[in-house]
Amino acid sequence: MKKTTLKQNYTSRLNLSRRIARSTLTAMASVLLALAGIVASVQADPRLTTPPGFSITKLPFSVPKARQLALTKNGTLIVGTRKSGNVYAVPNALTAANPKVITLFDNLNEPSGLTIKDGDLYIAAVSKVLRVNEIESKLKTNPEFDVVTDTLPTKAHHGWKYIKFGEDGMLYVPVGAPCNVCLSKDKRFATMLRMDPTTGATEIIAEGLRNVVGFAWHPQSKDLWVSNNGRDILGDDIPADELNVIPANNTKALHFGYPFVHSNNASLAPGIIKDPKFGDHEEASRHDFLPAAVRIQAHSAPIGMTFYTGNKFPSQYKNALFVAERGSWNRSSKVGYQLTVMTTNAEGETVYEPFIHGWLIGEEAWGRPNDVLQTEEGHLLISDDTAGAVYLVRYNPTLAAQ
């Protein structure tokens, strides 16, 4: 009897050891798989070049045709698109190893522009601005929404939007020109509008802006900086794309030239060039045109932008302006396809230069940066509407010292 008991005990302990071993191996495998997912999410793309100490990594999810970005206080990333008509939500986008992508809307009219105010999501879809109240409680397909306005121009050409709230509590909404170059009876075309989010009423604060698809307020001066895409079909190098400044507390609508005049090539002497068709138009004489603050290589397509106010980057980037250049479509050799940065040097001069590049290899573009957003922690997010990706940009002093 004693021998049988010992054998049974031995067999029982052996089976228990095997079960523990299997459980341990399974747990280890799960941990390794989870770690593999996390590691995969932070692997830098070797095609992209950053300054020393910086890294750019693709977040572990796909958002096809990603355009403007917004981030809730709870860490849900909202992503707009254009022609697909979709708006996406990604809960725990920056922390989860395998975040779930929720399609909030799937049938809107080019809902590229979106922003969050007091927990509510605002979406610009060409002629409409919609509001989803308390978006964090409505992360599902086709949630209920309110219509802030449905009276914006309906033209699809340059009709997609990029929107943000100012410190004044007003919603800023650009309206692009409905053409390459033209004069419009509706004075809201080629302007920046300021909208009352409670009524949808708008006023024009700047004219002569052909196609604004990005803007940001300077954190100190409070001036509003806007990116402006110049007209096409004048050649590879004219007119220059622009960064324009609408001064803080401006009391009248300013005019930046379109369609009458355009900025000269960025590499040439400062100045403007007359439009071949509208340069001598009688209406041109009624305006004083403001020159661009920064001229950018023609067809680079500067769009989404943000001023850096965090404390994770080196001091030279404090209040620097980061601009996503989506890249050219109608130039003999491609330009753009990069994230650029505008800083001020020791002499007080404005320096506008590439920060991250590599989306363009030769004449083949595998990605097109679209918007840039600062996280609460002080990192940057970049959307890419060709790769359907969102990238995280971080700085590591240890890497910089290597």
Q: Are 65 and 83 in contact (CB under 8 A)?
A: yes
d(CA 272, CA 292): 9
Judged against a pLDDT cut of 50, whether residue 20 lies above it is answered with no
For residue 65, the 8-state DSSP code is T
Quick: pLDDT tens for 83-114: 999 999 999 999 999 999 999 999 999 999 99
Judged against a pLDDT cut of 60, whether residue 252 lies above it is answered with yes
Higher-pLDDT residue of 38 and 77 is 77
| 3-state secondary structure (DSSP) of residue 136 | helix
- The widest CA-to-CA distance across the chain, in whole angstroms, is 115
Quick: pLDDT tens for 285-299: 999 999 999 999 999
Judged against a pLDDT cut of 70, whether residue 22 lies above it is answered with no
d(CA 305, CA 226): 8
- Which run of H or of E encompasses 8? helix 2-41
Which overall architecture, per CATH, does domain 45-401 show? 6 Propeller (2.120)
Q: Is 393 exposed, middle or buried (0-12, 13-18, 19+ CB in 10 A)?
A: buried
- Which sign does the torsion angle of CA 182, 183, 185, 187 carry? positive
**Residue 43 pLDDT level (bands cut at 50, 70, 90):** low
Residues 6 or more apart in contact with residue 259 via CB below 8 angstroms: 177, 181, 182, 183, 190, 208, 210, 231, 275, 277, 278
Q: Which whole number is the average pLDDT over 169-188?
A: 98
Please name every residue paired with 120 in a beta bridge, in sequence order, or none if there are none.
117
Percent of the chain at pLDDT exceeding 90: 83
State which of 23-27, 248-252, 372-376 shows the largest mean pLDDT.
Answer: 372-376
- Which sign does the torsion angle of CA 142, 66, 366, 53 carry? negative
Q: Is the pTM of this model over 0.75?
A: yes
Judged against a pLDDT cut of 80, whether residue 30 lies above it is answered with no
Residues 6 or more apart in contact with residue 20 via CB below 8 angstroms: none
d(CA 268, CA 354): 19
**Residue 162 pLDDT level (bands cut at 50, 70, 90):** very high
**Residue 13 pLDDT level (bands cut at 50, 70, 90):** very low
Q: Are 323 and 243 in contact (CB under 8 A)?
A: yes
Quick: pLDDT tens for 108-130: 999 999 999 999 999 999 999 99
Q: Which whole number is the average pLDDT over 187-195?
A: 98
* Mean of the per-residue pLDDT values of the chain: 90
**Residue 353 pLDDT level (bands cut at 50, 70, 90):** very high
d(CA 368, CA 65): 10
Query: Domain spans of the chain?
Result: 1-41, 45-401
Q: Which residue has the tokens 């479509």?
A: 329
Q: Which whole number is the average pLDDT over 239-245?
A: 98
Nearest to 155 by CA among 117, 200, 110, 115: 110
For residue 130, what are its two tokens?
A: 């919609």
- The pLDDT, as a whole number, for residue 268 is 87
d(CA 390, CA 383): 5
Q: Which whole number is the average pLDDT over 147-172?
A: 98
How, if at all, do strands 302-307 and 128-132 pair? unpaired
